[in-house]
A and B are shown apart, each in its own frame.
Chain A
Amino acid sequence: GQQLNQSPQSMFIQEGEDVSMNCTSSSIFNTWLWYKQDPGEGPVLLIALYKAGELTSNGRLTAQFGITRKDSFLNISASIPSDVGIYFCAGTSYGKLTFGQGTILTVHP
């Protein structure tokens, strides 16, 4: 089946630092989505990308849909402690969501 390769697996950063994570795939996806999951909760949508090359921001978050439709990145600027959690990329194809492996983000005050 389709797979998304997400990196890095984990990040330990200081408050105020910028963060970057990305996803790649051998398959083309129609849309790319970025989610954040807190412990014991379901994923919450952060940013949705619909067009190849699209660059979208949501507050301190910026994400881009790769021109080949096979990759995407998420940047978080000026991290704060509440950014802690697991970030997942996800791609849609034929109506289904496929998730990346997740990036565990730890922010030290």
Chain B
Amino acid sequence: GAVVSQHPSWVICKSGTSVKIECRSLDFQATTMFWYRQFPKQSLMLMATSNEGSKATYEQGVEKDKFLINHASLTLSTLTVTSAHPEDSSFYICSARRTGLNYGYTFGSGTRLTVV
């Protein structure tokens, strides 16, 4: 149980275009999902907390107009990287938290974004 599906697993896009990444909890409902960014050989840095039916909460230094988050249902959150630039190239990982369980942070398999 507790499976999180992230799609796509990798994407290459041109500078200036937008890319949408989906995060789905397959066998549980997640009122809260998290989006992380990870550069090579570095740790996961929390970008934002996505709450179902409300606005996302962004961490300091993360541009909310650039990284649009939508959590329209209890099983789906999306991250859209708008007007992508090469410096946005990174590994993006989502996580979903199971309601009521402390340890219920299940991670997706990540999305490798390359902006050319």
User: Please, which residue of chain A has its CB at the minimum distance from the CB of B2?
Assistant: A45
- Contact A42 B107, CB 8 Å, known A96-B34, A97-B46, A99-B44: yes
Q: How far is the CB of A108 from chain B (nearest CB, A)?
A: 20
Q: Are A41 and B102 in contact (CB under 8 A)?
A: no
Chain A residues closer than 8 Å to B44, beta-carbon distance: 43, 88, 99
Q: Are A99 and B103 in contact (CB under 8 A)?
A: no
Chain A residues closer than 8 Å to B41, beta-carbon distance: 104
Chain A residues closer than 8 Å to B46, beta-carbon distance: 96-98
* B78 part of interface (Cβ distance < 8 Å): no
How many residue pairs bridge A and B at CB < 8 Å? 56
| Size bracket, chain A contacts | 20 to 34
Kindly identify which residue among B6, B32, B42, B102 contacts A42, using a CB–CB cutoff of 8 Å: B6
Q: How far is the CB of A20 from chain B (nearest CB, A)?
A: 19
Kindly identify which residue among A50, A92, A102 contacts B43, using a CB–CB cutoff of 8 Å: A102
Within 8 A of A (CB), among B91-116: 91, 93, 95, 97, 102-103, 105-110, 112
Chain A residues closer than 8 Å to B50, beta-carbon distance: none
Interface flags for A55-74 (1: CB within 8 Å of B; 0: not) read: 00000000000000000000
In the complex the two chains form, what is the Cα distance from A54 to B89 in whole Å?
40
Q: How far is the CB of B50 from chain A (nearest CB, A)?
A: 12
* A101 part of interface (Cβ distance < 8 Å): yes
User: Please, which residue of chain B has its CB at the minimum distance from the CB of A104?
Assistant: B41
Chain B residues closer than 8 Å to A92, beta-carbon distance: 102, 105
